[in-house]
Amino acid sequence: MKTARQQTVLVLGANGGFGGHMVHELLSNGYQVTCLVREPTQLNESLIGIDITVIKGDAANVLDVTQAAHGCEILVYAINMPYAQWQQKSISTLEVSARLCEKNHMTLIFPGNVYIHNPAYRQIFNEGIAHQPVSRKGKIRQAMELRLKQASDNGAKILIIRAGDFIGKNAKNTWLDFMLKKGSSSYKLSAGTKRDIPHTWAYLPDVAKACISILNAGLPKAYNDFNFAGYQISFTEIAQTIERETGKKVKISYIPWWLFTLLAPVVPFFRELKEMRYLWEQELNLNEDKLKRVLPEFKVTPIGTALREAKLI
């Protein structure tokens, strides 16, 4: 088996939050990294000047991905499409990578999310609980993961790292970027619906570190899924953390769901956001006992440090 320094990883979606942080974690662990991006001249600033190979291409194009993956043993699938494109493009774009990994017996790493669970069913979910999506986007993610399970039966190795909403530097359009606004002397935090309901968040450098640590420990099966619990905290606790870290007051208000409802027929983005309201109304946490068995010493970055490093405060 090749060592990390002998293995090359193809990263799709390197300009996004998960993909970008995976690039850095792979490099710090000695892997060689190739990134396929639509426009190499518009790289995320965190990718400029580091030791990676950048190839221009489209993750939905079979020839582009096949050529970029030449000599690669691992593929990181970090494509993050706008919500409005999920229905049309999610399955077909993943299909390109799934078939390639089946054919070449590659490992495919995929960031799972909580959309495949129904928070009305329970509050804490482990990896063995059946998926019961209640939204259109949840059903799409379920179909994507079913396709990955099929790929694991056809020659590929699959590693899914499942986490909550991302926090991280250079992560575009995260929920917390939308919810937290910095003023000259205070902050405004827009809670989902209720300020004291715990919500699951994940700091991207921690997610990437856990993912590569699991990979380095050796994948025991063809299909491997791990929950990453991250932070399970309420908006009240986030506000208290910000006040403690900055000395500035935080005013908590609420997302104007009524406005999203009013504008949904004419503004697709608001329609897509409105569909995810249920995740802010009920508690949905991830049990990470399985991850802890593989990485017993793993610890997450303190939430205050994560907010600072993400430049949210």
Query: Could you tell me the pLDDT band of residue 4, with boundaries at 50, 70 and 90?
Result: low
- What residue spans define the domains of the chain? 4-168+202-228
Q: What is the DSSP string of the chain?
A: ---GGG-EEEEESTTSHHHHHHHHHHHHTT-EEEEEES-GGG--GGGTTSS-EEEE--TT-HHHHHHHTTT-SEEEE-----GGGHHHHHHHHHHHHHHHHHHHT-EEEEEE-GGGS-TTT-SEE-TTSPP---SHHHHHHHHHHHHHHHHHHTT-EEEEEE-SEEE-TT-TT-HHHHHEEE-SSEEEEEESS-TTS-EEEEEHHHHHHHHHHHHHH---SSEEEEE---EEE-HHHHHHHHHHHHS-EEEEEE--HHHHHHHTTT-HHHHHHHHTTHHHHS--EE--HHHHHH-TT--PPPHHHHHHHTT--
Average pLDDT over residues 297-303: 97
pLDDT tens string 217-242: 999 999 999 999 999 999 999 999 99
CATH of 4-168+202-228, one of 3.40.50.720, 3.40.140.10, 3.40.190.10, 3.20.20.70: 3.40.50.720
In the chain, the amino acid numbered 194 is K
Q: What pTM, to 2 d.p., does this model score?
A: 0.94
Please state the rounded mean pLDDT for residues 2-6. 65
163 and 78 in contact (C-beta within 8 Å)? Answer: no
- pLDDT of 2: 66
